[in-house]
Structure 1
Amino acid sequence: MSSAVRSLGFASNGTCWFRATALVVLGAFSLLFSGCASGPVAAGAPAKVMPDVQVLNPGDVIRIAFPGSPSLDTSQQIRRDGRINLAIIGELKVVDKTPAQLEAELLKAYDSQLVSKEIKVTLVSSAYSVYVQGAVMKPGKITPERALTAFDAVMEAGGFTPTANPKKVIVIRQEDGQVKTYPLDMKKVLNGEASEPFYLKAYDTVSVPEKISWF
Structure 2
Amino acid sequence: MNYPKPRWSILSHCALSFLLVLALIGLSGCASTSSRQSEEELEALAQARKEASEPLVLKEGHVIDISFPGAPHLNTTQRIRPDGRVTLPTIGEVVAAGMTPERLASELSTRYASELLNSQVLVTVTASSYPVYVTGAVARPGKVLLDRPMTVLEAILEAGGPDFTRANLKGVRVIRIEDENIRRFTVNVQDILGGRSVEPFYVAPTDIIYVPERFSWL
Give the TM-score of the pair, scaled to structure 2.
0.53
User: How do 1:191-202 residues align onto structure 2 when only pairs under 5 Å count?
Assistant: 191-202=194-205
User: Secondary structure of the equivalent of 1:213?
Assistant: coil
Percent identity of the aligned residues?
33
**2:160: which partner in 1?**
158
- In the TM superposition, what is the alpha-carbon distance from 1:180 to its structure 2 partner? 2.5
Once residues 23 and 171 of structure 2 are traced to their aligned partners in structure 1, the CA distance between those partners, rounded to angstroms, is 27
Give the TM-score of the pair, scaled to structure 1.
0.53
Structure 1 stretches of 5 or more lacking a match? 41-56, 87-119
Please tell me whether the aligned partners of residues 59 and 127 of structure 1 are also in contact (alpha carbons under 8 angstroms).
no
Once residues 16 and 194 of structure 1 are traced to their aligned partners in structure 2, the CA distance between those partners, rounded to angstroms, is 43
Once residues 192 and 6 of structure 1 are traced to their aligned partners in structure 2, the CA distance between those partners, rounded to angstroms, is 56
Please tell me whether the aligned partners of residues 172 and 211 of structure 2 are also in contact (alpha carbons under 8 angstroms).
yes
> 1:190 and 1:19, CA in 2 relative to 1: closer, same or farther beyond 3 A?
closer
User: How do 1:62-211 residues align onto structure 2 when only pairs under 5 Å count?
Assistant: 62-63=64-65, 65=67, 77=100, 123=125, 126=128, 128-163=130-165, 164-211=167-214
Please tell me whether the aligned partners of residues 173 and 186 of structure 2 are also in contact (alpha carbons under 8 angstroms).
yes
Once residues 137 and 31 of structure 2 are traced to their aligned partners in structure 1, the CA distance between those partners, rounded to angstroms, is 23
CA deviation map 1:20-72 (0-9, x unaligned): 5588479769968x9799x98xxxxxxxxxxxxxxxx94467536365775xx
> 1:31 and 1:187, CA in 2 relative to 1: closer, same or farther beyond 3 A?
closer
**1:5: which partner in 2?**
5
- In the TM superposition, what is the alpha-carbon distance from 1:129 to its structure 2 partner? 1.1
- In the TM superposition, what is the alpha-carbon distance from 1:9 to its structure 2 partner? 5.5
> 1:206 and 1:10, CA in 2 relative to 1: closer, same or farther beyond 3 A?
same
Please tell me whether the aligned partners of residues 58 and 127 of structure 1 are also in contact (alpha carbons under 8 angstroms).
no
Once residues 11 and 177 of structure 1 are traced to their aligned partners in structure 2, the CA distance between those partners, rounded to angstroms, is 58
User: Secondary structure of the equivalent of 2:163?
Assistant: coil
Q: Count residues with an aligned counterpart.
A: 164
Structure 2 stretches of 5 or more lacking a match? 43-54, 76-95, 106-121
User: Secondary structure of the equivalent of 2:174?
Assistant: strand
User: Which protein is richer in helix relative to its size?
Assistant: 2
Q: CA RMSD in A?
A: 4.7
Once residues 127 and 4 of structure 1 are traced to their aligned partners in structure 2, the CA distance between those partners, rounded to angstroms, is 76
**1:53: which partner in 2?**
none
CA deviation map 1:162-211 (0-9, x unaligned): 22111111111112313332100001111112332111111111111122
- In the TM superposition, what is the alpha-carbon distance from 1:154 to its structure 2 partner? 0.8
Once residues 127 and 146 of structure 1 are traced to their aligned partners in structure 2, the CA distance between those partners, rounded to angstroms, is 7
